[in-house]
């Protein structure tokens, strides 16, 4: 993630992603607040700098996939259309709801419906990253202490594990990924061609599972494009991508990398939680605002593995978010990996730290294919090197990623 978006390595406004959940109502991993019974449903995030004017995410009071829940959602969508609104995306697995373009009157109509839990603004997200120099991250994570030994030792390769790269797409013809790319999804254009016109997603994928630059060198990569060629996206698009992962992920072990993020976004967080509840491990970027990660989405999702960035001296990167919502740190400064023009690039951000963790999760899942997302999180934090990160920030766990499990 570059230093501009929250590509958990990018510093950017938050784009909300929804994670699909299981078919049963009990799989929903979040609780919605009371809606319009005592007045209009709450309107959230409309004043944020990342809010897209006139576009909203509507979350229903009843969650799950019962006939009643579906009927109420359909009715509210109909009311929105009748009031002049344009329904854009329908969400069934991430949560029960939809996105829509609504003018003032249509918004009021939707908020006044007692079946609506809350309405939030559709937010725009971006990636984060910086130009820099050398490659050293792989060298750091296979040893407990400095100095680096100029060697990356691994006993697992991520074989049999699928890694979903929720980002700007992936350059599938890059030599780093030869023969290990699965068919993906493009939420930006609404098709299966998740080509990368930016470079960020390819860089992330290269660190997760590239032949030369990757942690898990034999994992299968599936690109999920939710950010455009400028590295920007929206809550509705990210949620659509997460929902696709939840509905289509392999029955075998799976990990998702989200090197993106933004301000607090309940719908995005709910989608990620639902996807994790369906068995997908998520590594997410802490963000690049030099702030408390608990104020960002999806960084604040407790079930996800939230990653801060360090440099080659084990110091916290000056841009990295920190705080109690972090799970661990990983190399994120001057990271070299694949680029979308077939070459390489060296950039910085929590977006670059996060794929080291996603790759390590793939190694853990190869060795422990029945592990739950909670098991993976416990395994990685338990194997992490303690007390070597300098200036970790108030409340941050002093843990540095290590693949010595």
For residue 167, indicate whether it is catalytic.
yes
DSSP strand pairing (97-101 vs 86-91): antiparallel
- For residue 249, indicate whether it is catalytic: no
Q: Half-sphere exposure (CA, 13 Å, Cβ side) for 173?
A: 5
* Residue partners of 171: CB distance under 8 A and separation at least 6: 177, 195, 196, 202, 338, 339, 340, 341, 342
Active site residue 275: no
Considering 167, 265, 269, 327, which one is annotated as catalytic? 167
Given the residues 123, 174, 200, 249, select the one marked as catalytic: 200
CB burial class (10 A; 0-12, 13-18, 19+) of residue 26? exposed
Annotated active-site residue in 259, 348, 351, 396: 351
Tell how far CA 66 is from the center of its chain: 28
CB 91 within 8 A of CB 16: no
Cα 202 to Cα 45, 210, 332, 394: the distances in Å are 31, 9, 16, 33
Beta bridge partners, 234, equal: 124
d(CA 282, CA 304): 5
Give the integer Cα–Cα distance in Å for 80 and 113: 10
152-185 burial: b if 16+ Cβ within 10 Å, else e: bebebbbebbbbbbbbbbbbbebebbeebbeebb
Phi-psi region of 295 (alpha: psi -120 to 50; beta: other; left: phi over 0): alpha
Write out the two tokens for 7. 């590509």
Residues in CB range of 30: below 8 A, 6 or more apart: 63, 95, 266, 269, 270, 273, 274
The catalytic site residues sit at 167, 200, 351
């Amino acid at each position: 993630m570059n230093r501009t978006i929250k590509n958990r390595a990018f510093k950017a406004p938050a784009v909300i992603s929804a994670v699909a959940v299981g078919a049963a109502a009990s799989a929903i991993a979040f609780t919605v607040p009371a809606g319009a019974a005592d007045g209009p449903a709450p309107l959230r995030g409309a004043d944020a700098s990342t809010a897209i004017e006139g576009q909203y995410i509507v979350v229903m009071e009843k969650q799950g996939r019962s006939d009643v829940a579906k009927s109420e959602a359909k009715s509210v969508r109909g009311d929105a259309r009748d009031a002049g609104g344009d329904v854009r995306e329908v969400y069934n697995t991430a949560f029960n709801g939809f996105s829509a373009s609504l003018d003032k009157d249509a918004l009021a109509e939707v908020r006044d419906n007692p079946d609506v839990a809350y309405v939030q603004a559709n937010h725009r997200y971006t990636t984060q990253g910086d130009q820099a120099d050398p490659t050293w991250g792989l060298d750091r994570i296979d040893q407990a202490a400095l100095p680096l030994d100029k060697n990356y030792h691994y006993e697992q390769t991520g074989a049999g594990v699928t890694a979903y790269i929720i980002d700007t797409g992936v350059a599938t013809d890059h030599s780093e990924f030869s023969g290990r790319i699965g068919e993906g999804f493009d939420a930006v254009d609404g098709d299966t061609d998740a080509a990368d016109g930016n470079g960020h997603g390819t860089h992330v994928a290269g660190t997760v599972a590239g032949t030369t630059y990757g942690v898990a060198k034999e994992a299968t990569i599936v690109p999920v494009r939710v950010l455009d060629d400028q590295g920007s996206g929206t809550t509705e698009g990210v949620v659509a991508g997460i929902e696709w992962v939840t509905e289509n992920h392999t029955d075998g072990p799976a990990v998702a990398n989200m090197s993106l993020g933004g301000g607090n976004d309940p719908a995005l967080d709910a989608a990620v939680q639902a996807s994790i509840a369906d068995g997908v491990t998520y590594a997410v970027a802490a963000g690049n605002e030099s702030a408390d990660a608990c104020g960002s989405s999806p960084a604040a999702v407790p079930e996800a593995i939230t990653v801060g960035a360090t440099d080659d001296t084990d110091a916290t990167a000056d841009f990295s978010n920190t705080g109690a919502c972090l799970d661990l740190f990983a190399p994120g400064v001057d990271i070299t990996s694949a680029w979308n023009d077939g070459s390489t690039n060296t950039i910085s951000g929590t977006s670059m730290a996060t794929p080291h963790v996603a790759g390590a999760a793939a190694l853990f899942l190869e060795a422990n294919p029945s592990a739950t997302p909670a098991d993976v999180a416990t395994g990685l934090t338990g194997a992490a090197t303690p007390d070597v990160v300098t200036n970790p920030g108030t409340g941050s766990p002093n843990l540095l990623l290590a693949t010595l499990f």
